[in-house]
């Protein structure tokens, strides 16, 4: 790499999941992040897949500035008008889920959703996908199978996983996703103690390798849950608020889940999440004394930001823009794949896309994907690799919904050059 981290960073900061990238951000604006020297990096990850309006959006910045001088934090049982207004706005966007709880992070929202499901059903078994990521707190971590399960002792009792459908790398070639889903639930029924409470699902498994659930899958999964008295929790941390071309990705399948969680994109980079559910489930929660008292529940300042984010996404037609720009980005990525056999697959929806790398004669897919990501950062593009299994890697690409045509072209151009440099051996020559 062309840069190294300061000694103080490596000396004092605790690593929490992989290495830090050798870039020290000083400021960010729009689709770019800058260091102190003025070097700019095009952000193809929207921060941590969250800054859907780009960095330092002027209206969001003004909302924070004005809100910080008016109302930031309150006693947890005290309401404010921004909280009431955001709940009403979210309910209008998903009419079947009119009850809203505002929290801080996606893990916290999923924790609350799982807790609701257990309380309302009177059961405790939670099912997820084997490639899932729902958070790092207790219940959410127990439903996360992508990583982080070893070395921490037992997880919550009744934690089960089934395989997610993968059209590019099918577990059983020739078997349809419906057959796989039927078989998975048959095995699940055999293992369950009769206490199935909920299934928690991402419409696109992002950390799992940008695995897009096929059309009809969510609807079929919802039916499986209803047959067993389970609730369906849809985790829209990365897919919600317009990123996939709809306000919520579950709309692609035309379903209303029992519980939906939002985070990342709702706060456009600020810590804000939401749990949404039905009147019936809310009534049962009240009857059974649901408890989820946290320090920052229903905080007013994040609610102000959430309201502004939803206003901008709707006013500026950014969900439709994500569809249009997603098609442009997909075409650019496919063109790279057409010219370079190391690109094995391009998939995703809207502005949440994945570029999967395959083995070449000279490099394994895992090393190749890492090298391309590192080279892209050298050239001025920030992207992110998620492992697609025991080997290989998928570049996760989620630029802001506000990204321009020219910025997308620039990103594709940089990525193409990174692939060329790595596969032609220029990186190895430079190292020598």
CB atoms near residue 70 (< 10 Å)? 12
3-class SS of residue 42: strand
Q: Is 133 a catalytic residue?
A: yes
Q: Is 279 a catalytic residue?
A: no
What rounded mean pLDDT belongs to the chain?
93
Q: Is 235 a catalytic residue?
A: yes
Q: What is the dihedral of CA 95, 98, 104, 106, to 10 degrees?
A: -50
Q: Is the Cβ–Cβ distance between 405 and 332 less than 8 Å?
A: no
Share of the chain above pLDDT 90, in %: 85
pLDDT of residue 19: 81
DSSP 154-184: ---TTEEEEPPP-SSS-SSTT--HHHHHHHH
Q: Is the Cβ–Cβ distance between 208 and 235 less than 8 Å?
A: no
pLDDT of residue 50: 95
Q: Count CA atoms within 13 Å of residue 406 on its CB side.
A: 2
Q: Is the Cβ–Cβ distance between 281 and 120 less than 8 Å?
A: yes
| Residue 212 DSSP class | E
Distance CA 69, CA 64 (A): 9
Region 400-425 average pLDDT: 96
Per-residue model confidence as pLDDT tens digits over 203-223: 999 999 999 999 999 999 999
Catalytic choice (125, 146, 238, 356): 238
Q: Is 238 a catalytic residue?
A: yes
Top-ranked range on mean pLDDT: pick from 3-12, 354-363, 382-391, 405-414? 405-414
CB atoms near residue 190 (< 10 Å)? 7
Catalytic choice (111, 125, 131, 133): 133
Catalytic choice (180, 235, 299, 378): 235
Structure tokens at 88: 């009403």
Distance CA 136, CA 142 (A): 8
Question: How many distinct helices (H) and strands (E) make up the chain?
Answer: 14, 17
Q: Taking the mean position of all CA atoms in its chain, how far away is CA 189?
A: 29
pLDDT at 428 exceeding the cut of 90? no
Per-residue model confidence as pLDDT tens digits over 93-135: 999 999 999 999 999 999 999 999 999 999 999 999 999 999 9
pLDDT tier, 417 (very low <50, low <70, confident <90, very high otherwise): very high
CB atoms near residue 374 (< 10 Å)? 18
CB atoms near residue 228 (< 10 Å)? 18
pLDDT at 389 exceeding the cut of 80? no
Catalytic choice (224, 264, 325, 347): 264
Q: Is the Cβ–Cβ distance between 322 and 246 less than 8 Å?
A: no
Catalytic choice (99, 123, 347, 396): 396
pLDDT tier, 1 (very low <50, low <70, confident <90, very high otherwise): very low
pLDDT tier, 388 (very low <50, low <70, confident <90, very high otherwise): low
Domains of the chain with CATH codes: 7-56+317-431 (3.90.1150.10), 71-315 (3.40.640.10)
Region 360-383 average pLDDT: 93
Catalytic choice (125, 202, 236, 421): 202
pTM: 0.94
């Amino acid at each position: 790499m062309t840069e190294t981290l300061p000694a103080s960073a490596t000396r004092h900061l605790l690593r929490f999941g992989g290495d830090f990238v050798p870039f020290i951000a000083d400021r960010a604006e729009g689709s770019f992040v800058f260091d102190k020297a003025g070097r700019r990096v095009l952000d193809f990850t929207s921060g941590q897949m969250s800054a859907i309006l780009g960095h330092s959006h002027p209206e969001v910045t003004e909302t924070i500035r004005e809100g910080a001088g008016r109302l930031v934090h309150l006693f947890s049982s005290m309401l404010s008008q921004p909280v009431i207004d955001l709940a009403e706005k979210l309910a209008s966007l998903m009419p079947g889920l009119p009850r809203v709880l505002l929290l801080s992070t996606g893990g916290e929202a999923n924790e609350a959703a799982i807790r609701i499901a257990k309380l309302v059903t009177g059961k405790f078994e939670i099912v997820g996908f084997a490639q899932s990521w729902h958070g790092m707190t207790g219940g959410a971590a127990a439903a996360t199978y992508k990583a982080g399960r070893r070395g921490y002792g037992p997880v919550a009792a009744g934690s089960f996983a089934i395989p997610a459908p993968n059209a590019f790398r099918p577990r059983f070639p020739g078997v349809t996703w419906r057959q796989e889903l039927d078989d998975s639930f048959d095995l699940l029924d055999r293992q369950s103690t009769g206490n199935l409470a909920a299934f928690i699902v991402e419409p696109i498994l992002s950390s799992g390798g940008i695995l897009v659930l096929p059309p009809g899958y969510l609807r079929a999964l919802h039916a499986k849950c209803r047959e067993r008295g389970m609730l369906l929790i849809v985790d829209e941390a990365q897919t919600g608020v317009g990123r996939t071309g709809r306000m919520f990705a579950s709309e692609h399948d035309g379903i209303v889940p029992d519980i939906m969680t939002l985070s990342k994109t709702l706060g456009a980079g600020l810590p804000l999440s939401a749990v949404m559910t039905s009147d019936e489930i809310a009534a049962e929660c009240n009857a059974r004394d649901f408890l989820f008292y946290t320090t920052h529940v229903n905080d007013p300042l994040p609610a102000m930001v959430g309201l502004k984010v939803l206003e901008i996404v709707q006013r500026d037609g950014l969900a439709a823009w994500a569809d249009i720009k997603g098609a442009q980005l997909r075409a650019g990525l496919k063109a790279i794949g057409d010219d370079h056999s190391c690109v094995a697959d391009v998939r995703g929806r809207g502005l949440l896309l994945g570029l999967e790398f395959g083995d070449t004669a000279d490099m394994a897919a895992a090393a190749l994907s890492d090298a391309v990501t590192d080279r892209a950062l050298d050239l001025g593009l920030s992207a992110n690799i998620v492992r697609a299994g025991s080997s290989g890697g998928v570049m996760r690409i989620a630029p802001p919904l506000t990204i321009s045509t020219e910025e997308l072209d620039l990103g594709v151009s940089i990525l193409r050059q990174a692939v060329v440099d790595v596969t032609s051996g220029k990186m190895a020559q430079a190292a020598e």
